[in-house]
């Protein structure tokens, strides 16, 4: 999955999609996760980073990752969602 190339994300979690003019808020973990996805980091790698940094479990994170990706597609912020 790829995030649309022209999407801009600020460090404090503000996202702007110039294609639609719509903007979004992300929380800290959301901002971090979106950046990793944008850099095409594989899921296994992302999971490792989150499990090392936060108090969560592999199952819980995988579920939340899946949910986050679904909503990115819903908002048409991914190449797939945009097709």
Partner 1 sequence: MTMNKLNYERPIINKIENTMPNKIGGRSGFKPITEIDGVRIKGMISNFGSPLFVISEATIRKTYQSAYRAFTTRYPKVQFAWSYKTNYLNAVCNTFHQEGSWAEVVSGFEYEKAINNGVDGRHIIFNGPDKTKADLQKAIANQSLIHIDHLDEYYMILNIAEETNLRPQVAIRVNMDTGIYPMWDRFGFNYENGQAWDVLNKIMMNKKMDLIGLHAHIGTYMMEAEPYKIAASKLSELAVSINKKYNHYIKYIDLGGGFASNNTLKGAYLPAEDTNPTIDDYAEAISSALLNSNIDPDHLPLLILETGRALIDDAGSLLGTVITNKRDSKGARNTVLDIGVNILFTSFWYNHKITPVQSFSHHIEDTKIYGPLCMNIDVIRESISLPPLNTGDNVIIHRVGAYNMTQWMQFITLRPAVVMISEKGDVNIIRESEKIEAITDYEKVPSHLKDFDL
- Contact residues toward partner 1 (CB under 8 A) are 15, 22-30, 32-34, 50, 52-56, 60, 63-65, 67-68, 70-72, 74-75
Is 39:1 a contact under the CB 8 Å cutoff? Answer: no
Cα distances from 49 to residues 36, 41, 69, in angstroms, run 10, 10, 17
Q: Report the nearest approach of partner 1 to the CB of residue 64 (Å).
A: 5
- Considering the complex, state which of residue 6 and residue 21 has its C-beta at the smaller distance from partner 1: 21
Q: Report the nearest approach of partner 1 to the CB of residue 16 (Å).
A: 10
Token representation of residue 17: 């999609």
């Amino acid at each position: 999955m790829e995030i649309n190339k022209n999407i801009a994300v600020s460090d404090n979690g503000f996202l702007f999609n110039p294609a639609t003019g719509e903007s979004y808020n992300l929380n800290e973990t959301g901002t971090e996760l979106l950046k990793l996805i944008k850099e095409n980091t594989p899921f296994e790698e992302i999971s490792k980073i989150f499990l090392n940094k936060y108090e969560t479990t592999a199952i819980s994170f995988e579920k939340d990752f899946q949910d986050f990706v679904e909503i990115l597609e819903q908002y048409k912020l991914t190449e797939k969602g945009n097709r």
